[in-house]
Amino acid sequence: MGEQIHFGGLTSSMDLAERAGIAEGWSGVDLCCALGAGMRFLVRFRKVARMTGVDATRAMVDPGVQTLCGGGLADRIAFVEANVLRHRFAGGKVRFRVGRDAWCYVEDKPKLIAEAARLINQKG
């Protein structure tokens, strides 16, 4: 799997981004981003302008942040250490949200889906 901790790894990420039509200049949120490799992929290969990742596990977030410092992407990718069910994202309007091999672990799926929808529909 490498750092993209989902089934299919990089190949699957490329396929999904293509199918979703994720385009240059968009901004997005990765709910349950783990190490953030999926966000780095989107910034590097799809030229996404900005990503914010939310993950509840410090053991994922800390190395993810360290990778950014060495990779020159710290100005375009941010991490939030939080439970996606309790964190109310306040980063402004985003064009898309992504979650890979992770939402199955989140207990309250209706609440998760509602938050994901809110992120897309919010103004500003």
Residues that bind ligand SAM in the complex, under the rule CB under 6 A: 4-6, 32-34, 37-38, 54-57, 60, 83-85, 100-102, 105-106
CB of 120 to ligand SAM, least distance (A): 18
CB of 44 to ligand SAM, least distance (A): 15
- Choose between 37 and 50: whose C-beta lies nearer to ligand SAM: 37
Take residue 109 and report the two structure tokens written for it: 């799926």
CB of 37 to ligand SAM, least distance (A): 5
The residue among 81, 89, 6, 74 whose CA lies nearest residue 40 is 74
Alpha carbon distance 53, 45 (integer Å) = 17
- Choose between 41 and 50: whose C-beta lies nearer to ligand SAM: 41
Dihedral angle sign, alpha carbons of residues 75, 27, 39, 24? negative
Q: Is-contact 56 83, C-beta < 8 A?
A: yes
- Choose between 77 and 84: whose C-beta lies nearer to ligand SAM: 84
CB of 61 to ligand SAM, least distance (A): 8
Bridge partner list, 103: none
